[in-house]
């Protein structure tokens, strides 16, 4: 998993807004702090590709970490054209699409 400080803060805020119990959020924070399972990146420029400007941080994080895939259910990200995805050198997929792709590879 690739994460930037901006993305991490967004995850924590969303989980809190959704009413996820504090002990679970604390455990998530601890897991993200464990750098053996998470790649932390500093953000470079933020491309302006998503209809929702707040989503561009996800693209910047994935790009800074040289991700092959950006996995999301966010329609604003999923609707980015395949030509733009190719330019970014990553595919934007739903979790189900990623699982199907992984199953087909082996």
| pLDDT tens, residue by residue, 82-93 | 999 999 999 999
38 vs 77: CA distance, rounded Å = 22
| pLDDT tens, residue by residue, 56-79 | 999 999 999 999 999 999 999 999
User: Which alpha helices (DSSP H) does 18-94 contain, by range?
Assistant: 22-33, 56-64, 75-78, 82-88
pTM, rounded to two decimals: 0.77
């Amino acid at each position: 998993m690739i994460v930037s400080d901006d993305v991490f803060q967004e995850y924590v805020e969303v989980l809190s807004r959704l009413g996820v119990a504090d002990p679970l959020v604390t455990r998530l924070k601890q897991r993200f702090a464990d750098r053996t399972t998470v790649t932390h990146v500093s953000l470079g420029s933020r491309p302006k590709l998503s209809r929702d400007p707040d989503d561009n941080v996800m693209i910047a994080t994935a790009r800074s970490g040289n991700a092959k895939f950006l996995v999301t259910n966010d329609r604003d990200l999923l609707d980015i054209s395949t030509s733009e995805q190719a330019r970014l050198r990553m595919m934007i997929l739903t979790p189900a699409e990623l699982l199907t792709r992984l199953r087909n590879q082996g």
